[in-house]
Structure 1
Amino acid sequence: MRPGTVSVILVTHNSAEVLGNALASLPDGVEVIVVDNASKDNSLEIARAAGARCVSNANNLGFCKANNIGARTAHGEFLLLLNPDAQLDPGALETMLATAERYPDAAIVGPKLLDEAGQSVWRHKSILHPFEGRNKAPVEPEFASCVPLLTGAAMLCRRAALQAIEGLDENIFLYHDDDDLCLRLTQQGWSLIYEPAAVVRHAFGKSCGASMELTRFKAREHMRSSIYVREKHGVPFDLARERRRNLKRLSLASIKFDRERQVAAFGRMEALAELGRAKSAAARAAAADQDEIAADSRTLKAWIAHKLFGRPESSLAVIKRLFAENVRNHIPGYVAAFICMGFVAATTGASAWIMKDVINRIFVDRDSAMVGIIAGAVMAIYTIKGLSTYGQQYLLQRIGNNIVATLQKRVFDHVLSQPLNFFDRHAIGDLATRMSYNAQGARAVIDLIIQSIGRDVLSVLALTTVMVLQDPLMSVVMLIIMPVAVIGVSRLVKRVKKIMQLELQSIAEIVNAMQETASGIRIVKSFNLEGHMRKRMGAAVEQVEQRSNKITQVNALTSPLMETLGGFAVAAIIMYGGWNVIARGSDPGSFFAFITALLMAYEPAKRLARLNVQLSANMVLAEGLYALLDTPPTISEAPDARKLEIREGGRIDFDNVVFAYGAQPALKGVTFEARAGTVTALVGPSGAGKTTIFGLIERFFDPQEGSVSIDGQDLRGLTFSSLRDNLSLVTQETFLFAGTVRENIAYGRPGATDDEIEEAARMANAHEFITELPGQYEAPVGEAGGRLSGGQRQSVAIARAMLRDAPILLMDEPTSALDAQSESKVQEALDRLMEGRTTIVIAHRLSTVRNADRIYVLDRGEVVQSGSHDELLAEGGLYATLYSLQFRDATPKLAAVGAE
């Protein structure tokens, strides 16, 4: 094999278990590139130890995108795209290469794939390359042959062919859809060669641990990929039919208790649901016109929606979404809980039924032999009922706790993905309330429905069956009263919803008031604001109390309604039953069994009648939770975002940048350059746009016009993580997290060693005061760093930036709030930090920027001057005016009484 002929590209994600085998199967003399998609194991260490060149991605970019990254960095004439769980047999690569040279028009040479059982995996049909159903499947070729399709896992690609079609389509996630690649290549005149003499063994799906989350993720992405390929090439796709097929898969998996297939089916359902939501607004509006509830309010669905939830246009959709996104992960647990609830319902009915024998056999017939038998039966019934009740409650509580935890993590992740302006629009109290209170409400909706169906409905059915079997006529009374109760209670639903919405607003105000009081306690006490804050908190607490009392009042109304109706029913049944036994000589045991079943059915029936009130209150919480989760980020990564590459030291260019906060312009066509390895200062009056420039560099928002780039790479085309990994920030108002000094420094580079942390502290002139703290590096800094002085907090922040060691440094006058002694030490540390870095400084005190390589003067969103300190002073203008205002000689305005 000629040196440099072949470059091998492996895409990994937690592939340590199999990666070593794949690397060991490669012959010497090939370039190996491992593109790692956010592994959490030691895949990279294994790759580096084997001499591979590694490209590390912070996120899972998908197989196609990662392969393209590897292809762009490779040098070989041929590229071997290899899965980490595939191993080449001896001579396989050489055989493929010889075949490629024998067929110069071949874009790809594919080997013979064998699974773990040694069976050949011959792919003969696909979405884009179907064969006629009446024909036999093509036979696997016995020798090198041109074919219409090649499967993945190992493909020897000719670099020129891959470049001709601009690589793999990066919208496709998994290699199973490589039929798109094959089709594009053949459309451009290339051939595809299958080489059975080259053998590759593929341990399918073993490249990383098969977690349920990963299984669902892969199934979802594969479905999206399949849909994308069909739409791209004009192949019909029937969404409704695919949903039906997937429901069949889910049903079969549930019957077989196949957890992995269940999870995969839910993953596909996710993708199909997203496809449905992606339809145009016009299509959604047209669908709404055909909605069953809107079209005909007399349907059963409309009745349920109105009576149970009071707002049909949203409640049913929210419940459907809650179940689709949460219940699917716990099907085995819910099945087990339903079985337990079935036993509870059955034993409840049995306990009423056995009353017939208790009365007739013991008290009427006086059969002593039956006493022990019936007593034993009663003990067995209630033992089974007790165990089933425990199992039901334990399972539902565990599942509910997991649902709340999952929702809270999801909300927090979603909030973290939002830009800065999101936090300007949402109060902290509102976010905290939705994360805790609303997540509990969403769980309550699921619990209420599950328990009502599995416990109360089944119990009522079991007990009603007992009543009907004992006396059909008396059962009619109960069946008449129940709908009357439900209709009466349903009138309370809308009122509960309105009260609940107001209560949530008051709870958020309580959290806000508490948070602001704790954060601003110095101001509260300094300005004697205790009375004002006490009044504000008191008003919010009283509102919550009043609204809680109203909900309690509405909830309480359901009990008297059921009690009254139930009392009338029991009285009527006693009158009828007593007459039936006394006058007609009916069986007293049957009457007592009936009355026992009726009384036992009272509680579950009352819970069902109250269901809509409780459900309605918690639906407000669930809808609020989804309102937050459905808030799209106003700024997001591009689908084809790439990693930032520091090519020229981190040069920053603003090219005619225009940005406005709403209607108020902040930057008006700003153009400037911060050269690599130099110090660039931004000066100007407040509101000139200096902080906005920092926000654009960190991509907290995007410009409306123009561009911001680093080393020629537009920030809008970069991943957030790679951009911010190359930035360090030191601000005037230093923020430290609650925790220890060591933890706060380590935030600069998670995973840094203790020695690296302490070296960063020394470079920042922080080590000396840290060693004097109680606990030294383990000393707690307090909330927001409140246990440290201003200079100490700033030194810790500089140590954090030192540890990050990013090529670009952003500083917002970090010494302006310090005393002279602290400023001297901090400035010395900053001088070390700026060495060799591209530094941009926002300067409020012009004395700090005299030595800057370039100074840009901003006024009202425009660059009005630029140059060095001396050049700007000589030029005059705004800079000279600001400088003279800060440094002109001033005589004392006040003198002490009696002073000379």
Structure 2
Amino acid sequence: MPDSPRRNPFARPRKDDGPRATFRQLLPFLFEHKRVLVWVSVLSMLGALATLVQPLLIGQVIERVQTSEPLGLLVWALVLFVVVSSAISAYQHFLLQRTGTAVVLSSRRRLIARILHLPVSEFDARRTGDLVSRVGTDTTMLYAVLTQGLADSVGSVLLFIGALIAMLVIDPVLLLSIVGVIGASVVAVVALSGRMRRATAQQQQRVGELTSGIERAIGAVRTIRAAGATAREEQAVAAKASQAYESGVEVARASALVVPIAGVALQASMLVVLGVGGMRVASGAVAVSSLVTFVMFLFLLVMPLASAFGAIASVGQALGALGRIQEVLDLPDETSTDAAPRPAAPVADAPALAFRDIRFRYPEASVAARERAAREAVEAHVPLSEDDDATVAVTEDVLRGVTFEVPRGARVALVGPSGAGKSTVLALLERFYDPSSGRIELDGQDIRELSREDVRARFGYVEQDAPTLAGTIADNLRLASPDASDADCERVLRAVNLGGVIDRSPFGVDTPVGEDGVMLSGGERQRLAIARALLAAPPILLLDESTSSLDGLNEQLMRDAIDAVAEGRTLLVIAHRLSTVVDSDRIVVLDRGEVVGQGTHSELVRDVPLYRDLARHQLLV
């Protein structure tokens, strides 16, 4: 079998570069700390001046030693400038490290603020792990911009120019002999900086994919093990880790070319200076003290070059990461397209809620993300949830001309087979999405004329798979009611039959629930979500299959609790158990995004075949 062709270790990375950023987009992050950066620049200039004096003093010391003249205060002056230069460098280093950390903090705050206000459709289209990677990993790359030479560039420029002038005064011939070497090194670094940026952008993208893979595997670890898919998940995540490694090697290749250039330039310049300088000393054109001084200035000339090369490399890497950061910062938040909200003005005698000929289709990015997630789950042999299975092929309107009303103080139930659009109705009410056409009214007013905060404040929403946040029971309850007392928390817990959880723990309402509520049963997690909604005491409760994880006894206790708090409130309930809906004031039957029947239980059993069939099977679909 013939050997496969060896890959060039310094070959260009593939052009899967991801989003790019410009240096101008980096400036706002730096200008937030402009006062500190100005002070660092002043210190940098003072340090450069103190450093430039040292070769001159050393040259004078050599001349006096050669002529047997007393040194006087020259040695002490030299020591003083060395100490001053070192002290300035140490303080400057501290300021840069602190400011670099502050830049990372400010960029993380911007990202967090933007991510938490993105439209829900963006979360449908993006992986959670990738967003986490942008906050954690990509922002760290900005730290290097300040700590690897960019912020002290003013002093470096002064040092470079000062050394250049001093070398020109000492011996122009020696200076001309090294100009070609220095110029070639600068051109090479500038040419490689673009490659560094592309390689870094690709690396950060791959790290984001790896983080997403790990987050997915850990989040579903029980399901994966139960399905016997642990080995396959391990291979899938390991493959992403390998891709991140390959991208890291690409960065290393680019760095391997950039980093040694300053050292090569210094070594080549030294050889040239020693060769040419030795001949000029031998001919008497240059004194030994001048040659030594020139060599010291050569070091000072290359030092800022090395700093500049490091800055170019770090900025290139930072721009690669900044492209991913800026991509999220440039996304509109969920209110960006909203019209100016009007003051809430309930219309007399209007129903609490009304859907008027609502049509809705999920954004294409959301559909693509769901299809991708479903395909990956199938490939990994991980069981799909009912919702996943129902939305794999969503390419049309999910709701088609839906019209119904929810009178004030009434209990209305939504029923229908899987994929009928029941959960979508609640998502539209919460304004996670806006309808494609039609009008949704809240107390007679179009909800698009109200602020999202106002709309959501009127609802107590319990999701179908309501998440339990890591922390304590009280932390979860106070999510929507931060000022609730422990007594209030205990009251709603007992109302939903969760009193036993706090009774058996010495911590009471401060009992930990574990990551994703793992220390609670499925039914307890669901009841905790309902208790959270009840604690906020909103005028309208939206319950999405809130009793699906309860046994018969707890379901009855839950219905009794809901009945107790439902007085004076409006309820819109999605349920799959007949016992949950038979006592509703109105039942709306959905099928394939359309309303196929409305009325009481007895009316629907008589007039709607689909409902009759669902009732016969106890709505277990």
Does residue 326 of the first structure (1) align with residue 29 of the second (2)?
Answer: yes
Give 1:641 shift. Answer: 0.8
Partner of 1:428: 128
After TM superposition, give the deviation of residue 592 of structure 1 in Å.
0.7
Shift of 1:843: 1.7
Per-residue displacement from partner, 1:125-144 (whole Å, max 9, x unpaired)? xxxxxxxxxxxxxxxxxxxx
Q: CA deviation at 1:572?
A: 2.0
The aligned amino acid for 2:325 is L
1:692 is aligned to: 424
The 8 Å contact of residues 486 and 509 in structure 2, kept in 1 or not, is answered as no
Change (3 A) 1:369 1:610: closer
Q: CA deviation at 1:491?
A: 3.5
CA contact (8 A) 2:462 2:533 kept: yes
SS at match of 1:817: coil
User: Higher relative contact order by CA 8 Å / sep ≥ 6: 1 or 2?
Assistant: 2
Q: Distance in 2 between matches of 1:550 and 1:419?
A: 35
C-alpha distance in structure 1 between counterparts of 2:263 and 2:167, whole Å: 20
Q: Where do residues 563-574 of structure 1 align in structure 2 (5 Å cutoff)?
A: 563-574=263-274
Could you tell me whether the CA contact under 8 Å between 1:813 and 1:842 is conserved in 2? yes
In structure 1, what is the equivalent of residue 383 of structure 2?
none
Task: Check whether the contact 1:647–1:711 (CA below 8 A) recurs between aligned residues.
Answer: yes
The Cα of 1:606 is off from its aligned counterpart by 2.7
2:554 to 822, 825, 841: 822
Spell out the pairing of 1:783-794 with structure 2 (5 A cutoff): 783-794=515-526
Deviation at 1:884, TM superposition (A): 1.7
Partner of 2:67: 365
Counterpart pick for 1:869 among 601, 605, 610: 601
CA distance in 1, matches of 2:306, 2:582: 80
Change (3 A) 1:842 1:619: same
SS of the aligned residue for 2:549 comes to coil
Describe the superposition over 1:243-292 as per-residue Cα deviations: whole angstroms up to 9, x where unpaired: xxxxxxxxxxxxxxxxxxxxxxxxxxxxxxxxxxxxxxxxxxxxxxxxxx
Match of residue 232 from structure 2: 532
- Alpha-carbon distance in 1 for matches of 2:438, 2:124: 25
Structure with more of its chain in helix, by fraction = 2
Partner of 1:350: 53
1:533–1:724 CA distance, 2 compared to 1 (3 A): same
Contact 1:341 1:454 survives alignment (8 Å): yes
- Answering whether residue 299 of structure 2 is matched by residue 593 of structure 1, we say no
For residue 743 of structure 1, the aligned residue among 447, 458, 475 is 475
Secondary structure, counterpart of 2:151 in structure 1:
helix
Contact 1:438 1:621 in 2 (8 A): yes
Separation in 2, partners of 1:352, 1:791: 78
Q: Distance in 1 between matches of 2:249 and 2:56?
A: 41
The Cα shift of 1:445 comes to 4.0
Structure 1 match to 2:79: 379
Shift of 1:857: 0.6
Name the CA shift for 1:758/1:817 in 2 (closer, same or farther; >3 Å): closer
Q: Tell me, yes or no, if the aligned pair for 1:764 and 1:802 is still in contact at 8 Å.
A: no
After superposition, what is the alpha-carbon deviation per residue over 1:630-682, rounded to whole angstroms, capped at 9, x for unaligned?
Answer: 11246546342135456669700111111112441111111110011110111
Partner of 2:250: 550
Rate the CA distance shift 1:416–1:887 in 2: closer, same or farther, 3 A: closer
- In the aligned structure 2, how far is the partner of 1:320 from the partner of 1:447? 19
Match of 1:855 in 2: 587
Per-residue deviation, 1:446: 5.5
Report 1:869-888 matches (<5 A): 869-886=601-618
> Structure 2 CA distance, aligned partners of 1:645 and 1:445?
52
Report what 1:703 is aligned to: 435
1:449 offset after TM fit, Å?
A: 6.7
One of 612, 621, 636 as aligned partner of 2:312: 612
Q: Deviations over 1:96-134 (max 9, x none)?
A: xxxxxxxxxxxxxxxxxxxxxxxxxxxxxxxxxxxxxxx
Query: Which residue, out of 633, 636, 653, partners 2:354?
Result: 653
Residue in 2 aligned with 1:492?
192
CA distance in structure 2 between the aligned counterparts of 1:647 and 1:781, rounded to whole angstroms: 43
Instruction: Give the match for residue 217 of structure 1.
Output: none
Unaligned runs of 5+ in 1: 1-309, 889-900
CA distance in 2, matches of 1:409, 1:445: 18
* 8 A contact 1:763–1:802 mirrored in 2: no
Kindly report which structure 2 residues correspond to 1:30-45, keeping only aligned pairs within 5 A, or say none: none
1:776 to 501, 508, 512: 508
Task: Please report how far the alpha carbon of residue 701 of structure 1 lies from its aligned counterpart in structure 2 after TM superposition.
Answer: 1.0
Cα deviations across residues 299-346 of structure 1 (Å, max 9, x unaligned)?
Answer: xxxxxxxxxxx9xxx97x7322321x2333322211111111112211
Which structure's CA Rg is the greater one?
A: 1
Long gaps (5+) in structure 2: 1-14, 365-394
- Given that residues 353 and 407 in structure 2 are in contact (C-alpha distance below 8 angstroms), is that contact kept between their aligned partners in structure 1? yes
Distance 1:562 1:640, change over 3 A: closer
Instruction: State the partner residue of 1:603.
Output: 303
3-state SS of 1:788 partner? coil
CA distance in 1, matches of 2:100, 2:223: 42
2:38 is aligned with 1:338: no
Are the counterparts in 2 of residues 809 and 839 from structure 1 also a CA contact under 8 Å?
yes
Residue 450 of structure 1: aligned partner: 150
Distance (whole Å) between structure 2 residues aligned to residue 664 and residue 887 of structure 1: 26
Q: Counterpart amino acid of 2:532?
A: R
Provide the secondary structure at the position in 2 that maps to 1:886: coil
Give, in whole Å, the separation in 1 of the partners of 2:160 and 2:531: 67
Q: Following TM superposition, by how much is the alpha carbon of 1:883 offset from its aligned partner in structure 2, in angstroms?
A: 1.1
Q: Which amino acid aligns with 1:500?
A: T
Letter in 1 for 2:66: V
Q: Which amino acid aligns with 2:467?
A: F
Could you tell me whether the CA contact under 8 Å between 1:771 and 1:777 is conserved in 2? no
| CA offsets 1:771-795 (integer angstroms, 9 cap, x no match) | 2124121111111111112232223
Distance 2:341 2:182 in 1: 60
Mark the CA change 1:887 to 1:444 in structure 2 (over 3 Å): closer, same or farther. Answer: closer
Does the Cα contact within 8 Å between 1:650 and 1:808 map onto a contact in 2? Answer: no
Shift of 1:455: 4.1
Following superposition, the deviation at residue 559 of structure 1 comes to 4.2
Answer yes or no: is the 8 Å Cα contact 1:635–1:701 preserved in 2. Answer: no
User: What amino acid is aligned across from residue 108 of structure 2 in structure 1?
Assistant: Q
SS of corresponding position for 1:732: coil
**Residues 100-249 of structure 1 mapped to structure 2, 5 A cutoff:** none
User: TM (normalized to structure 2)?
Assistant: 0.87
> What percentage of aligned pairs have identical amino acids?
29
Q: Which residue number corresponds to residue 623 of structure 1? A: 323
Q: For residues 27-79 of structure 1, what are the alpha-carbon distances to aligned partners after superposition, in whole Å with 9 as ceiling and x for unaligned? A: xxxxxxxxxxxxxxxxxxxxxxxxxxxxxxxxxxxxxxxxxxxxxxxxxxxxx
Provide the C-alpha distance between the structure 2 equivalents of 1:465 and 1:819, rounded to a whole number of angstroms. Answer: 87
Deviations 1:470-519 (A, max 9, x none): 22222223333222112223333343334323322321122112111221
Alignment of 1:632-651 (within 5 A): 632-633=332-333, 636=336, 638-644=338-344, 651=352
Q: Decide whether aligned partners of structure 1 residues 762 and 646 sit closer, same or farther in structure 2, where only a CA change above 3 A counts.
A: farther
The yes-or-no answer on 1:840 pairing with 2:572 is: yes
1:847 CA displacement: 2.4
SS at the partner of 1:744? helix
Determine whether 1:509 maps to 2:241: no
- CA distance in 1 between partners of 2:264 and 2:356 (Å): 77
Structure 1 residues 459 and 436, CA, compared in 2 at 3 Å: closer, same or farther?
farther
Q: CA deviation at 1:429?
A: 1.8
* Secondary structure, aligned partner of 2:360: strand
Q: TM-score, normalised by structure 1?
A: 0.61
Per-residue deviation, 1:369: 4.2
Give RMSD over aligned pairs. 2.4
**Alignment of 1:767 onto 2:499:** yes
Distance 1:647 1:376, change over 3 A: farther
- Of 410, 426, 430, 1:678 maps to 410
Matched residues, number: 571
Q: C-alpha separation between the residues in 2 aligned to 1:341 and 1:357?
A: 25
Tell me the residue number matched to 1:277: none
Distance of 2:107 and 2:259 partners within structure 1: 33
Aligned counterpart, 2:9: none
